[in-house]
Amino acid sequence: MNNLFLSLGLTLIVGMSMGLGSLLSFFIDDTHKRLMALSLSFAAGIMIYVSFMEMLPEGIHLLEDYMGERGHSIAIVWFFGGMFITAILEIIVHKYAGGFHDHNYNHSHEGHNNDGEHLSKLGVLSALAIAVHNIPEGLALFTAGLKDITLALPIAAAVIIHNIPLSVAISVPLYYSTGSRKKAFLYTLLVGLCQPLGAILGYAVLSQGFNDLIIGILFSIVAGTMVFVAIDELLPTSQEYEDHHLSVYGVILGMIVMAISLTLLGHHH
């Protein structure tokens, strides 16, 4: 029960970080490119490492305990299934939201001279697309916390870093089109709150059958999703800001920090 409330609280904090990202977006300019590039690739390193070293092995372990040797194959199928599901969501988002994943400060500021109505539409579409994107992300973080809150903490840190450029994709177009920081902030915060909403909805649906089979499948899906997000979103966006070598160093640094953290927390497979 303690893990339940801690996981919900952690997911709420992560969701609210989009509000913080919105506030930062009003002050970040091109001089912060190197920091943004390093932060995004650092988050990618955390996600990739924790997926392959913790989430997927834990999913395999739970499914093997539940159904024997074939549990390994089932976990691998769901791992790639997580990637496939995320890829489908990405295609839908790009189709209906005008490619908001090209969230780049330069793109946003260039839009300042464009028609305000177009920018407002871009901000609203981005908000809707990212809200859909955030619901399964919130469930993923909540699931990790239910099993082990110490494992959820570094994932939460990575998602918070990931949320910053997403919040910029909403805040900047809305701010430049409406001139209202308050409106841009509130829209972005509401989108962020879709993460704890995803956790609550997921728990309401799955709570009656929340056993090792369900958790093992969710861990495998989440591992695939996080690897896909790191490769498809974080690394390409990071490389738009700075030389690709800095992105590589950020990934390695994220993996090292994650490895040290997990070792200190006593996670071994």
- Assigned token pair, 223: 């591992």
- Assigned token pair, 137: 């992300």
In whole angstroms, give the CA distance from residue 122 to residue 224: 29
Give the closest residue to 178 by CA, choosing from 130, 124, 102: 124
How would residue 111 be classed by pLDDT, with cut points 50, 70 and 90? very low
In whole angstroms, give the CA distance from residue 187 to residue 201: 21
Is pLDDT at 99 greater than 80 in this prediction?
no
CB 52 within 8 A of CB 226: no
Kindly report the CA angle at 109 between 105 and 115, in degrees rounded to 5? 135
Question: Residue 38's Cα: distance from chain center in Å?
Answer: 16
Is pLDDT at 27 greater than 90 in this prediction?
no
CB 255 within 8 A of CB 45: yes
**Amino acid at residue number 219:** F
How would residue 76 be classed by pLDDT, with cut points 50, 70 and 90? very high
Residue-level pLDDT at 256:
92
How would residue 120 be classed by pLDDT, with cut points 50, 70 and 90? low
Backbone angles phi, psi at 265, to 5 degrees: -85, -5
Half-sphere exposure of 177 (CA within 13 A, CB side): 21
Is pLDDT at 81 greater than 90 in this prediction?
yes
Exposed e or buried b per residue across 42-65, where buried means at least 16 C-beta atoms within 10 angstroms of its C-beta: bbbbbbbbbbebbbbbbbbbbbbe
Mean pLDDT, rounded, for 238-265: 81
Residue-level pLDDT at 179:
77
In whole angstroms, give the CA distance from residue 138 to residue 218: 12
- Assigned token pair, 112: 């300042």
Residue-level pLDDT at 80:
97
- 261 compared with 6, residue with greater pLDDT: 6
Residue-level pLDDT at 93:
63
Is pLDDT at 219 greater than 50 in this prediction?
yes
In whole angstroms, give the CA distance from residue 18 to residue 4: 22
How would residue 107 be classed by pLDDT, with cut points 50, 70 and 90? very low
How would residue 12 be classed by pLDDT, with cut points 50, 70 and 90? very high
Q: Using DSSP, how many helices (H) and how many strands (E) does the chain show?
A: 12, 0
Is pLDDT at 73 greater than 90 in this prediction?
yes
C-alpha distances (whole Å) from 23 to each of 26, 128, 169, 180 are 6, 19, 12, 12
Mean pLDDT, rounded, for 216-227: 85
Mean pLDDT, rounded, for 106-110: 44
Q: Which of 50-64, 76-90, 134-148 has the lowest mean pLDDT?
A: 134-148
- The mean of the pLDDT values for the chain is 77
- 171 compared with 209, residue with greater pLDDT: 171
CB 44 within 8 A of CB 235: yes
Mean pLDDT, rounded, for 204-218: 76
Residue-level pLDDT at 96:
55
In whole angstroms, give the CA distance from residue 127 to residue 187: 7
How would residue 56 be classed by pLDDT, with cut points 50, 70 and 90? very high
